[in-house]
Amino acid sequence: MEKIDVAPSFIQKGASMADWQVFSCLNAFDSWPLLPDSCDQLESSSFRFWIEKCHSVSDGATISKFAFVWWFIWFTRNKVIFNEEGFSSRKVCFMISIFFAQWLKTAAQEDGDSGIPVPRPLVNSIAVRTGINSVWIPPIGNFYKLNFDGSKDSTGNSALGFVIRDSKGEVLLAGAKSLGPHISIVQAEAWALSEGIKGAISLDISHLVVEGDNLAVINSMKNVWRIPWEISNIISDVGVDVRFFVECQFRHCFREANQAVDFMANKAHHHQSLLYWFSPYCMNFSLIIRKDVLG
């Protein structure tokens, strides 16, 4: 069974050959709209330029269908990369058709019309996350806590950050480093974990709790998920390093509980080499730390 190859993908350089096959298949079986003829000349253009071109020659209903196709191509691309699954163009078309039909049916039942969904205020759809995963909680006993995070700026450059704190919430070590372009966010997160672990070892810590908001990295370390191939070497190295600890626990947290390392990761874009920060810290970082301590 052929696998969908979206390199270059829509997100990078427009539509690949497999992407065009999905659109052609949908058009042949379900009369879905084809991409504008001029789009085949935009292979090297940015996604933003590409989508603006589609908007200029297509109506809203057509753009909505394009969005469904793009989302499923992205979804199946991740399945191919991370789960090593295979998808033919016809299988992807079938998935899109079934999902779109169900979506229209559900919209019609909710709105009482012909199936065209009615926009609703976004404020009612925003879920407020609560619970222990949404706030930073100090470690207990003789444990220390390492939080890590990765970041990408508007130019596509990646960076990492980590913070190590004790049971009182006091920062023992904070680190940050720019990783440059061509590094994915999951790679940046894995590198942040690796550097944070090395930092904890340098502090002679024996009991450590590790928290991050990237499930792929956390569950890879817990052997819950299959390790993504692009971070397999990093995860293997971290697996060796954690043997230095008497006990090391890995936990997932929401971004709301990871604000301190998010600050460090964004700060890291200005530093090409790995830098360690010690007290006293800048006002903004200190306020985040105090807020975490207060819950």
What whole-number distance in Å separates Cα of residue 95 and Cα of residue 17? 19
| Phi, psi angles (nearest 5°) of residue 176 | -155, 150
What whole-number distance in Å separates Cα of residue 231 and Cα of residue 187? 6
Contact between residue 200 and residue 208 where contact means Cβ atoms under 8 Å apart: yes
Burial (CB < 10 A; 0-12, 13-18, 19+), residue 195, is buried
Per-residue pLDDT of the chain (295 residues; tens, 9 = 90+): 344 443 333 333 344 556 677 878 887 777 888 776 655 554 445 566 666 767 776 777 777 787 778 777 877 777 776 666 677 777 888 788 877 777 777 666 655 554 444 444 444 444 555 556 678 999 998 999 999 999 888 888 999 999 999 999 999 999 999 998 888 999 999 999 999 999 999 999 999 999 999 999 999 999 988 898 999 999 999 999 999 999 999 999 988 888 999 999 888 887 778 888 877 888 888 889 988 888 7
Residue given tokens 């603006």 in the structure block: 52
Structure token pair of residue 58: 């297509």
Structure token pair of residue 25: 């298949």
CATH code for the structural domain at 132-294: 3.30.420.10
State the helix-helix crossing angle for 259-267 and 283-294, rounded to 10 degrees: 160
Contact between residue 277 and residue 117 where contact means Cβ atoms under 8 Å apart: no
Which amino acid, residue 107? A
3-class SS of residue 166: coil
- CA 212, 199, 215 angle in degrees (round to 5)? 15
What whole-number distance in Å separates Cα of residue 187 and Cα of residue 289? 26
Query: Alpha helices of 84-184 — where are they, by DSSP H?
Result: 89-111
Contact between residue 158 and residue 187 where contact means Cβ atoms under 8 Å apart: yes
- Give pLDDT tens digits for 84-134: 667 777 788 878 887 777 777 766 665 555 444 444 444 444 455 555 667
Domain assignments of the chain as residue spans, ordered by start: 10-124, 132-294
Instruction: Return the DSSP state at 219.
Output: H
